[in-house]
Homo-oligomer: A and B are copies of this chain.
Amino acid sequence: MRFLQACRGEALDRPPVWMMRQAGRYLPEYREVRSKVSFLELCRTPELCAKVTLQPIDRFGLDAAILFSDILVVFEAMGVDVEFNPGPVVAQPVRDAAGVAALRWGDPAEEIPYVMDAVRACKAALADRVPLIGFCGAPFTTLSYLVEGRGSRDFENVKGMIFSEPLMFGQLMEKMSDLLGRYLEAQVDAGADALQIFDSWAGALSPRDYAKHVLPHTAALIERVRKTGVPVIFFARGNANLLSLAGGTTADVVGVDWSIGMDHAIETLGAQRVVQGNLDPMLLLGARETLVSRTREVVEQGRVAAGHIFNLGHGISRHTDPEMAKLMIDTVKSMGAS
């Protein structure tokens, strides 16, 4: 299948295309489902996960599906309560040794089996039309939510921990990486065809601190889950200076956010790498002709790399008109052999 071929760096007439957050609020059919259940109920109901996972596949004919879930459901395996109203809120953020000691490090396959059930439900519903991507948050991003308690602008608490208690932070990262490794392995066991690790808050750190305090753990996680045999996509977002560090991991595919030109990104990573990205999702809120020309530009720039999976450089905005998403996707598809 096109998506998996691209992950392996096989030559293709045009890149596969999928969109981060493709199953989501910008789709009326998704909002219809969500009008009846809460976000967490949706995540915990495998049949509904499969339903919304397939919605953008049915509507747009995308080249890959990504499991509908949230990076923070893994907290349930750790004894941590999280609510969504609408952003995630952790009732008791973990900020000291006592908080760390109170954490459980359960087995995701046992503690949140509904995720693996959702993978199976998606696979059954997809019936091999397109591959299914499983995912998790990277250890740093997951820990950041745990320590900050919610989305943050400056990441004062987690950075304060790194700079004041680096050993405690390192131990937390190690445990988190191990738990996430088991989690991703369980998703592959359940049928996931590829994995994406989202380091959504990587940009909170300078390259120096990311390299020292975060990357070794993330690189080890990538190395570990690659042993499952499925391709691993690593996406560290928010600081394009981290790109060369991401390129230093053994990830099969390196995600590229919108903050850097795809040409510059490929130059930084080296043309032997497979890349994924990087159209600015806000272009979907703009003029049609601008969207088409910028989409074509990213596709053309991507041809220089060993492989390119067309995607946005960040999740699609909920204010996007689905017709604009369709225009982008059709533009990518039109660039193949005629």
Contact = CB atoms under 8 A, between A and B. Distances in A.
B162 A286 contact: yes
Q: How large is the interface on A (under 10, 10 to 19, 20 to 34, 35 or more residues)?
A: 35 or more
Number of copies: 2
A331 interface: no
A113 interface: no
Contacts of A102: none
A280 interface: yes
A208 interface: yes
Classify the interface of chain A: helix, strand, loop or mixed.
Answer: helix
Interface in A228-244: 239-241
A28 interface: no
A261 interface: yes
A259 B238 CA distance: 10
Given A282-B155, A282-B159, A259 B287 contact: no
Given A241-B259, A259-B203, A317-B156, A209 B287 contact: no
Interface string A279-291: 0101101110011
A206 B259 contact: yes
B282 A156 contact: yes
Contacts of A317: 154, 156
A163 interface: yes
